Amino acid sequence: MPADLNRLSAVELAAQLQTRALSAEQVTRACLARIAQRDGEIHAWAHIDPDYALAQARSLDAGPIVGPLHGVPLGVKDIFDTADLPTSYGSPIYEGNRPAQDAAAVALCRAAGAVVLGKTVTTEFASYQRPATRNPWHTAYTPGGSSSGSAASVADAMTPLALGTQTAGSIIRPAAYCGIVGFKPSFGAVPRAGCKALADSLDTLGGFGRSIDDVALLASVLMREPALVTARRDTAPRVGMYRSLHWRHAAPETREAFAMAAERLKAAGVEVVETPMPDAHCALMQLQADIMAYESVGALAFERWRHADRLSPALAAILDGGARITREQHMANLAQAAEIRGRVERLFGDCDVLLTPSATGEAPFADQGTGDPLFCRLWTLLGVPCIHLPFAKGPQGLPVGLQAIGRIGHDIGLMAAARWIHPLLQK
């Protein structure tokens, strides 16, 4: 077997699997070996069944090329239903739960030929409870949440691709802490059927890879949009640098990465401008939190009614707060969010993309939780596509980067701009 197959990018693996230069079984065995070697320390996987993964790979090797993900291993966040693997949603309430069918996103990936390696650790119902998963860069630190296992497994070369979800900052922040690329598509771009809901107005499905090309390949399947794979620009994008009114919470390493990005882009001839901040920005953080809390009460009504004693104190507190928000107030919140989304074009001005922090700084210690989604809440509320671009390090040697933001529905344009920008940031 060729050495280090598990470290190849998804696009490199896909190219060789398409020509049969590699077999799906070879690639799957390499990833399983890495998991066996490392997961006792990282705890990225909630459920792993090597025999099942290898059976999928052998079936693919015995038949025709299925699709663009033929034979490519995939981690599935344990918030997505899977017909052939347990799905526990990060809660003891659902220990041993066996759904009858795959979530739509999982089915799309299987139909494109992906090998589902197993289920990756999620925080409790994709909320804030600290998981056992550790950051592969240093196990004293968190990988972020709620897509903890998906981000950690990709960063540690256990799998080239993994699915995630974001309701506040659960794709972009873990990608930032783990030093990989995370992509949150425009709201509603990926079907949510079979994915445990937390907040219907905010939940967005996406995923992780170790490069822009990798997440573009995954997103092309999830969004049924092949143009994402080849999206390129002929000219440099105009980039808006957006600090946000929460800049005071940005750690020195984030401030340095922000300044470094502007300098490197300008040096490469990219037009860079400071994007003004709307007065209502801070209020929007609370708006997102209130919508999320109110809708979580509905999404987890059964669990709160029948299994309140098995919910974590942190989640119970969020649900209690959401229960105090009236239906009238929630409708007003939704109307305000819709009105703000209608004005998002003004925020971009004549910029093609915005660059803004993905997280306050490096990953915090694991015993301090999964980190603050402060710099992600606004973009989730607005429903815009976001992609995390890693390129720097903080004082502890942990990854730091920024997220690129695109206009609603302009996922292809964002992917093209990110491909232009990222190499310049990495210089």
pLDDT digits (tens, 9 = 90+) for 352-388: 999 999 999 999 999 999 999 999 999 999 999 999 9
| Number of helices followed by number of strands (H, E) in the chain | 16, 11
For residue 91, the number of C-alpha atoms closer than 13 Å in the C-beta half-sphere is: 23
Helix %, strand %, coil % for the chain, to 5? Answer: 45, 15, 40
Average confidence (pLDDT) over 145-173: 98
Q: What is the pLDDT of residues 295-337, one digit of tens each?
A: 999 999 999 999 999 999 999 999 999 999 999 999 999 999 9
**At residue 236, does pLDDT exceed 70?**
yes
Q: What pLDDT does 164 receive?
A: 98
Q: How far apart are CA 34 and CA 348, in angstroms?
A: 43
**Topology annotation, domain 5-230:** Amidase signature (AS) enzymes (3.90.1300)
Largest CA distance in the chain: 62
Which residues are known catalytic residues?
A: 77, 146, 170
Peptide bond into 146 cis (omega under 30): yes
Q: pLDDT band at residue 1, thresholds of 50, 70 and 90?
A: low
Write down the pTM of the prediction: 0.97
CB atoms inside a 10 Å sphere around CB 37: 13
**At residue 95, does pLDDT exceed 70?**
yes
Q: Which amino acid belongs to residue 240?
A: G
- The region of weakest confidence among 24-33, 245-254, 272-281, 403-412 is 272-281
Closest by CA to 109, choosing from 19, 194, 224, is 224
**At residue 99, does pLDDT exceed 80?**
yes
**Using CB atoms within 10 A of its CB, is residue 47 exposed (0-12), middle (13-18) or buried (19+)?**
middle
Q: What pLDDT does 280 receive?
A: 66
**Using CB atoms within 10 A of its CB, is residue 269 exposed (0-12), middle (13-18) or buried (19+)?**
exposed
Q: What pLDDT does 345 receive?
A: 87
Q: pLDDT band at residue 136, thresholds of 50, 70 and 90?
A: very high
**At residue 53, does pLDDT exceed 70?**
yes
Q: What pLDDT does 343 receive?
A: 87
Q: What pLDDT does 3 receive?
A: 64
**At residue 245, does pLDDT exceed 80?**
no
Average confidence (pLDDT) over 89-97: 97
Q: How many percent of the chain have pLDDT more than 70?
A: 98
